[in-house]
Amino acid sequence: MNHFLLYSKVCAECSALVTRRYSTSFSMGIKMLDKSLRAPIYSIYGFVRFADEIVDTFHDYPKEALFEAFKRDTWEAIRGKISLNPILHAFQQVVNRYGIEEELIQAFLNSMEEDLYKSSFELKGYNEYIYGSAEVVGLMTLRVFCEGREAEYQRLKPHARSLGSAFQKVNFLRDLKSDYQERGRVYFPGVDFKTFSNEDKRKIEEEIQGDFDYGYIGIKQLPEKARFGVYLAYKYYLNLFDKIRSKDAGQVAEARIRINDYKKAFLLMKSALLVKTRMF
């Protein structure tokens, strides 16, 4: 193995480590993908995770300057096809190999940047934020799953967007308290954290259920190499959503709802059986 290939392999391994440390659910889903798809999906997640960390957690550091540097380094990595930042190097390789559009990356960076200065959203801004922060991530991963098959990518695009949207909105409900208390944010338009009601919650849940339903149609049509991993992530999030739905609005606003490891293990085994027997 030449030294550049070794460097690239090490960078991809760094992205896998980031994924495993930050998200057990996504890590398990990625492990259920075909082996050929795992490294590129880890690389996308590593990039997304680092951008999100800058705007969400680096409170004692100059976040605006750090994010500007991150954006600049991202574009330099993509266009120069190399970076000394291992996460960006791994990401640019995926972008260039699979033809991920710059528009998707720019939309993602735009949404992340909004977290530096926006604390609430009107409907149009909310939809744009969801697109940039979540739907485009679904489209990036779909580019990998389709492996250059353009007609398949175009057919599955709307479903990938819906699934990404569902995941993000569930995250917003799960993190309602921390987003408000630690970052001063409420993403849902027209919702006041201090008066968050069961009616507010019900309307949001109806929207999320529609996203899940449309996303599920696409999962069933995914290439076989990707289907199990995406279905498992879908089941994790759907189970979390069902648990949130069973709670009162006040409970959701006061505690972060989680799925324990035993439940995740059960979902893994059940999902494997359903996908194997094509009964999902």
Residue 277 pLDDT class (50, 70, 90 cuts): confident
Q: Is 169 exposed, middle or buried (0-12, 13-18, 19+ CB in 10 A)?
A: buried
What pLDDT, on the 0 to 100 scale, is given for residue 274?
78
What pLDDT, on the 0 to 100 scale, is given for residue 120?
87
Question: For 162-202, how does the pLDDT look when each residue is reduced to its tens digit (9 = 90+)?
Answer: 999 999 999 999 999 999 888 888 999 999 989 999 999 99
Quote the pTM value. Answer: 0.93
- In contact, 94 and 43? CB cutoff 8 Å: yes
Q: Provide the mean pLDDT of the chain.
A: 93
Would the pLDDT of 1 be above 70?
no
Would the pLDDT of 269 be above 90?
no
Distance CA 49, CA 236 (A): 19
pLDDT average, residue stretch 71-97: 98
What pLDDT, on the 0 to 100 scale, is given for residue 86?
97
Task: Identify the CATH number of the domain in which residue 233 sits.
Answer: 1.10.600.10
CA distances from 202 to 154, 197, 208, 236, 244 (A): 32, 9, 10, 20, 11
pLDDT average, residue stretch 46-75: 96
Distance CA 82, CA 274 (A): 41
- In contact, 32 and 228? CB cutoff 8 Å: yes
Question: For 110-143, how does the pLDDT look when each residue is reduced to its tens digit (9 = 90+)?
Answer: 999 999 998 889 999 999 999 999 999 999 999 9
Say what percent of the chain tops pLDDT 90. Answer: 80
Backbone torsions φ then ψ of 258, nearest 5 degrees: -135, 160
Sign of the dihedral defined by the CA atoms of residues 189, 211, 29, 137, in that order = negative
The vertex-145 CA angle with 140 and 148, nearest 5°, equals: 85
Which residue range is the domain that position 38 belongs to? 3-276
What does the DSSP assignment read for 211-263? HHHHHHHHHTTS-HHHHHHHHHHHHHHHHHHHHHHTS-HHHHHHS-----HHH
Give the pair of three-digit tokens for residue 248.
């009162």
- In contact, 52 and 243? CB cutoff 8 Å: no
Residue 63 pLDDT class (50, 70, 90 cuts): very high
Would the pLDDT of 252 be above 70?
yes
Question: For 253-267, how does the pLDDT look when each residue is reduced to its tens digit (9 = 90+)?
Answer: 998 888 887 788 888
Question: For 15-53, how does the pLDDT look when each residue is reduced to its tens digit (9 = 90+)?
Answer: 999 999 998 888 888 999 999 999 999 999 999 999 999
Tally DSSP H helices, then E strands, for the chain: 14, 0
pLDDT average, residue stretch 64-73: 97
Number of domains, the chain: 1
